[in-house]
Structure 1
Amino acid sequence: MSMHEEKREYSYADYLSWTEDFCCEAIDGHIIAMSPSPTPKHQDVVAELTAEFKMFLRGKECMAFSAPIDVCLFASKETKHDDIKDWVQPDLLVVCDPNKIGEKYITGAPDLTVEVLSPSTTKNDRQIKFKSYEKAGVKEYWIVDPHHMSVEVYELDGDAYIQKGIFVREDQLKVGLFEGFEIDLKNVFKE
C-alpha cells in the first residue's frame, strides 16, 4: 500500500491485504497515519503501565495488551472485514470480555484504553480517538503525557466522557475499573 493511493475510505480487509510492515489506524475508513517509531521514554512509560496492569490482572478474567494489536472498535467476531471501517492500536488496553479477544485482533470496545502522547499523535489522541473511544463505549480512557509526567483520566458517564482527574508523578492513581488497584506514578514516570 502506498499512502499516495487515492481512495475515499478503506476497510479492515484492505488493511489486511497490505504488506505486513505497514501499520496504520483508521476512523470511519479514513487512514490516520502512524507516527515514526516511539521514543525510548514513550516506550518505557507504556512498558511500566503494562507491567502494572499485567501484575494486577494476573489470574483474573480481564487481560491487558500493549501495542501493536488491532482493535476493531465497532465490530463483533461476526463482522466481515469489508464492513470494518474503524481500527486502532492503543498503546495499552484492557479487555474484560473474553469473547472480544480474537486470534488476531480485538473486536468491540475495550474496557480501558491508554494513549501515550507523542508530538505527532497528540491531535489524534485528544480529539479523533477521544471521540471514537467515547462513541464505541470504552469505559475508561487515559491520556498520558510523558513530557509533563501526567495522566488525564476520563470515565464514560452515559454516552459522554467526564474527566475524573489529572494525576502527576507524585500521585497514586486509583484505577476506576478495579477496586483496590492503585498505581504509584513514580514507578511510571522516571526523572
Structure 2
Amino acid sequence: MSIPDESKNYSYTDYLTGDEGERFELIDGEKFPMSPAPSRRHQQVLRELSTAFTIFLREKECEVFFAPFDVRLLGENKQDEEIMNVVQPDLSIVCDREKLDDKGCNGAPDMISEILLPTSIKMDRWKKFQLYEKAGVEEYWLVDPVYESVELYALICGKYKFQGVYTKGDSLSVYHFAELEIDLSRIFE
C-alpha cells in the first residue's frame, strides 16, 4: 500500500484511479486507510442489522446497502474531481432513489450505522460523526459488538442530538422509521 501524500487533497477521481487493492476513505480530501476485513462478530452483527432493515423496508421506498458501498458526501452537482468525501459505511439506508447511481450513493443517506472496531473508534466517533452531521445524514448509529450496545443520534436543526444507548435485551425504536422496533437480543445473538 502506498503512503498518502499529506500535502495533497484527494478527490473521488483519485479514489477511483488509486492502486488496485488499496482501500481508503476520503474526508475533506484526506485519505484514511480502511481496516483489513472485520471480525466474524462484526459481520454477524452487520448481517442481523441488514436483515432486520431489509425485511422492514421491502414494502417501502428505501433501500439498504452495506459495505463495500461508496457514499459520496457533499458532492451533489459536482464532478468527480471536486468530490472530496467518499466513505463506505457498514450500513446505509437511502430513501431518495435520485441519489443512487451505478457508483453508489451521491448525497446523504437517510441513515448510517457504523459497527465499531478497535481500529475505527476514533474515526467513527469523531471524523465520520462530524462529516455525517455536516452532510445531513438524519440518523447515525454507533454499534458496539463488544459491549453489545447501540448509540443513536438524530439530526435535529442541523446538529446531532443524542437519543440514548440501547443494549442487548432492549428494543430499539428507529428514529427515522418510528414503526420499526429492533430487538437487540437478535442483533447481538
Which TM-score tier does this pair reach, normalised by the shorter chain? over 0.9
Structure-2 separation of matches of 1:33 and 1:112 = 23
Q: 1:5-84 alignment to 2 at 5 Å?
A: 5=5, 7-76=7-76, 78-84=77-83
Structure-2 separation of matches of 1:140 and 1:156 = 6
Structure-2 separation of matches of 1:166 and 1:152 = 5
Structure-2 separation of matches of 1:114 and 1:12 = 22
Residue in 2 aligned with 1:104?
A: 103
Is there any run of 5+ residues in structure 2 with no aligned partner, and where?
A: none
Write out per-residue CA displacement over residues 117-146 of structure 1, whole angstroms, 9 at most, x where no aligned residue: 000000000000000000001000000000
Runs in 1 of length 4+ with deviation above 3 angstroms?
4-7
Structure-2 separation of matches of 1:30 and 1:5 = 9
The SS at the match of 1:187 is: helix
Structure-1 separation of matches of 2:39 and 2:144 = 13
Structure-2 separation of matches of 1:48 and 1:144 = 12
Q: 1:82-161 alignment to 2 at 5 Å?
A: 82-161=81-160
Amino acid aligned to 1:94:
I
Structure-1 separation of matches of 2:4 and 2:31 = 12
**Contact between 2:4 and 2:31, CA under 8 Å: does it hold in 1?**
no
Structure-2 separation of matches of 1:105 and 1:150 = 28
Report the identity percentage: 46
Residue in 1 aligned with 2:167?
A: 168
- Tell me which moved more, 115-124 or 14-23: 14-23
Deviation at 1:59, TM superposition (A): 2.5
Q: Structure 1 pair 110/4, CA: closer, same or farther in 2 (3 Å)?
A: closer
Deviation at 1:33, TM superposition (A): 1.3
Amino acid aligned to 2:32:
I
Deviation at 1:115, TM superposition (A): 0.3
Q: Normalising by structure 2, what TM-score? A: 0.96
Deviation at 1:5, TM superposition (A): 4.5
Write out per-residue CA displacement over residues 145-185 of structure 1, whole angstroms, 9 at most, x where no aligned residue: 00000000000111111110100001000011113100000
Deviation at 1:6, TM superposition (A): 5.1
The SS at the match of 1:186 is: helix
Query: What is the root-mean-square deviation in Å for CA atoms of aligned residues?
Result: 1.2
